[in-house]
Amino acid sequence: MQIINDPAEMQKTAESLRLKHQFIAVVMTMGALHEGHLHLIRLAKQRAGTVILTIFVNPQQFSPGEDFHRYPRPFEKDAAMAKAAGVDYLFVPDTEQMYTGGFQTQVTAGDIANRFEGSARPGHFNGMATVVLKLMLISKAHLAVFGEKDAQQLAVIKRMVKDLNIDIKILEAPVIREEDGLATSSRNIYLSSKERKQATVLYKGICRAEELVQKKVADTEKIIREVISIIESAPDAKIDYANIVSTDTFTETDTLKPDTEYLLVLAVWIGSSRLIDNGKLRIN
């Protein structure tokens, strides 16, 4: 595995791989790798001859007061995990290299980016979309693998790729969970052991919603009411949002139409950690 820090060197390397007819997949992360990331790398390896993993904690997608400075950065461990997973190139630029003096161009994500995570974290999706576009251009990848864990991020990226005619395929990977259902996340280390136990209420809420939908309950208010009562059974849980939305547009709906996919989207504070999760809902 080759480690590259300089964006120009990464781009030159990618170009020479393309000239050798290599099919390139990229997996973009902020590091502190876990099983969710490893699953994305595995999918990339199944589909591509060359896998580029990027690790970059992007200051542009953190609001003031968020955890940018304390975000975990266990680089040695990450590099060892990436190598063991079969990554070919580990691209790890620093902030100055990504945002050289005078940087001023930004992607403005549209309406999807103003809802839910976008309204809770102003500027987050524009910062995310900007760095994702830069990493697509630097890695020159044919395929990029993203997790459904960050469903709204995925919707914003898919919209951007379509709107800007970006020549890249997007592969969506399912949410990877711990045994008790908590979605794996680099931020789970912030949870105390008491909070960690309570954090399972998000998945319990998702399972209850899935159960109701299987029984053909289409009234989203009824489903959400039950989800909220499960989440609120945890003493340290505070709901930021719990809604049912269309998968592509993130607009809310009162009734689930048959044969249409929706998402239950959740953002919940457990103590001082904000967790997000989602589950697909569909009445067949």
* Residues tagged active-site: 37
Work out how close the CB of 139 gets to ligand AMP at its nearest, in angstroms, rounded to a whole number.
Answer: 14
Q: Which residue, judged by CB position, is nearest to ligand AMP in the bound state?
A: 147
Beta-bridge partners for 146: 172
Work out how close the CB of 61 gets to ligand AMP at its nearest, in angstroms, rounded to a whole number.
Answer: 9
Work out how close the CB of 240 gets to ligand AMP at its nearest, in angstroms, rounded to a whole number.
Answer: 18
Q: Which is nearer to ligand AMP, 74 or 218 (CB)?
A: 74
Q: Which is nearer to ligand AMP, 78 or 88 (CB)?
A: 78
Work out how close the CB of 176 gets to ligand AMP at its nearest, in angstroms, rounded to a whole number.
Answer: 4
Work out how close the CB of 20 gets to ligand AMP at its nearest, in angstroms, rounded to a whole number.
Answer: 27
Q: Which is nearer to ligand AMP, 184 or 243 (CB)?
A: 184
Residues with Cβ within 8 Å of residue 94, at least 6 apart in sequence: 5
- What is the torsion angle, in degrees rounded to the nearest 10, for the CA atoms of residue 211, residue 214, residue 219 and residue 225? 0
Q: How far apart are CA 204 and CA 181, in angstroms?
A: 8
DSSP 8-state class, residue 113: G
Q: Which is nearer to ligand AMP, 132 or 212 (CB)?
A: 132
Q: Which is nearer to ligand AMP, 132 or 256 (CB)?
A: 132
Beta-bridge partners for 50: 24
Residues interacting with ligand AMP, by CB under 6 A?
Answer: 29-30, 36-37, 40, 146-147, 149-150, 173, 175-176, 183-186
Residues with Cβ within 8 Å of residue 55, at least 6 apart in sequence: 29, 30, 31, 75, 78, 90, 91, 92
Q: In what order do the strands lie in the sheet with 237-246?
A: 237-246, 262-270, 273-281
DSSP 8-state class, residue 261: -
Q: Which of 244, 251, 173, 183 is nearest to 210 (CA)?
A: 244
